[in-house]
Amino acid sequence: MLSFFKEYKRFAIVFLAISIIIVFIIYNTLNVYQPLPIYQPTMVSTELVDSTLQYKKKYHKIADFSLINQNGKTITQADYKDKIYVADFFFTTCQTICPIMTDHMAKIQKEILNDNDVMLLSHSVTPEIDTVAQLKRYAKKKGVNDKKWNLVTGDKKQIYDLARKSYLAVKDNPFDGPYDMIHTENFMLIDKKRQIRGFYDGTDPAEIERLLNEIEILKEEYNR
């Protein structure tokens, strides 16, 4: 009888060990890390992409830029070097989707306030109206933290080219003059290599939650 229980005990230990291994394998199979896509111009609606890039299938990156923020400081790609950031396009006098987008960007700012890897960047599509003084008033009203979030203005052609050729984020407006844009509700997630890793509806709270979650997924990519 005693030997039977010894054999049973040995069997139980082996069975338990095999069960743990199987559970571990299943868990890891179901939780395989899935990196975020790297968006190329061919993956985006043609109305948001400059015609010169609509064929491009790889190697797309955000171009160099030099713009002025709400404090009159020149902001370049160097300020975002080795950073993950969320970008959008707006204008301070917009009364439709922009207030919602800005409030949602403020929510993101709150979530990433103590995260040194993540920043925000909002481009004005009406730089002739959005002067440094105007951006500063808007920044104070919306609770912008200068260390985390730049509202930028500058040369209209440069902003237009960034919107259409880099961020793939706005529609062309050929009826109102050169370099006029119809901005969209899009937020873009940009990685440390200046690649687009996600598009989100900046007016949709559920999309903001998805964006925050995918920031964490992107951060995990750099920890592997």
Nearest to 122 by CA among 90, 144, 147, 79: 90
Residue-wise pLDDT tens digits, 77-113: 999 999 999 999 999 999 999 999 999 999 999 999 9
pLDDT of 205 reads: 98
Whether residue 60 is predicted with pLDDT greater than 60 in this model: the reply is yes
Cβ neighbour number for residue 19 with a 10 Å cutoff: 10
pLDDT of 183 reads: 84
- Cα separation, 12 vs 197, in Å, equals 48
pTM of structure:
0.84
Residue-wise pLDDT tens digits, 181-201: 888 999 999 999 999 999 999
Whether residue 207 is predicted with pLDDT greater than 70 in this model: the reply is yes
Compute the average pLDDT of residues 22-40: 68
pLDDT of 87 reads: 98
| pLDDT confidence bin for 15, thresholds 50/70/90 | low
- Cα separation, 108 vs 204, in Å, equals 13
Joined tokens for residue 60: 């797309």
Mean pLDDT of the chain: 89
- Cα separation, 181 vs 172, in Å, equals 5
pLDDT of 201 reads: 98
